[in-house]
Amino acid sequence: MSLRLGDVAPDFEANTTQGVIRFHEFLGDKWGLLFSHPADFTPVCTTELGKTALLKGEFEKRGVKVLAVSVDDLDSHNRWIPDINEVTSSDVNFPIIADENRKVAELYDMIHPNASEKATVRSVFVIGPDKKIKLTLTYPASTGRNFNEILRVIDSLQLTANYQVATPADWVEGEDVIVVPAVSTEDAQKKFTKGVRVVKPYLRYTPQPNK
């Protein structure tokens, strides 16, 4: 099944390193990051899970619950976690789904047969509190993900969910944002009291409204 932005993220029940969870219940009213790994005891995956653990405070600050997926079983996950903690100086503190029957991988179209018939690609799904998919990213197995970019996108998604703004190329937290075309310049000047800078009638900047 091909999932698109705005679709409701499929719910599921799964066994994880922190017990059985039901996905939508696990998320509650929080944002979610669901991301897959090709296999346990692999080098790139080890660095990624360690990096995610080290960023625990950043995800918590943004109200994001993290959930990883691997098609290996629970025993394998539990044997792998000490390695991750050791080599990345971290403490894996989020659940890893044991998806040996590939239920979640198939539900979220994480297996791309032309890349590998068995292992998942490095899929990323950011899910909003409304349980709808806000972002999808797909990396090949050979390329580790940029988690600073994932945090940047979450910052943008959360900002645009609360204000009528978009974020320009290479935007990072604290920089000016763009007023969306649906808001007239006159209304923007009333709405964004820090000021509106008009570059073109369709390109208007304003300071980040929640700063």
Catalytic annotation, residues: 45
Q: How far is the C-alpha of 5 from the C-alpha of 68, rounded, in Å?
A: 20
Tokens of 59: 């995800």
Q: Write out the H or E segment, with its range, that includes residue 150.
A: helix 147-162
Token readout for 205 is 């900047």
Q: How far apart are CA 86 and CA 171, in angstroms?
A: 34
Secondary structure of the chain: what % helix, strand, coil (to 5)?
Answer: 30, 25, 45
Q: Return d(Cα 120, Cα 145) in angstroms, integer.
A: 14
CA angle 29, 94, 116 (to 5 degrees): 105
Pairing of strands 96-98, 64-70: parallel
| Lookup: tokens for 60 | 């918590």
Tokens of 171: 């935007």
Q: Where are the beta strands (DSSP E) in the chain?
A: 13-16, 19-22, 31-37, 64-70, 96-98, 122-127, 133-139, 165-166, 177-179, 197-200, 203-206
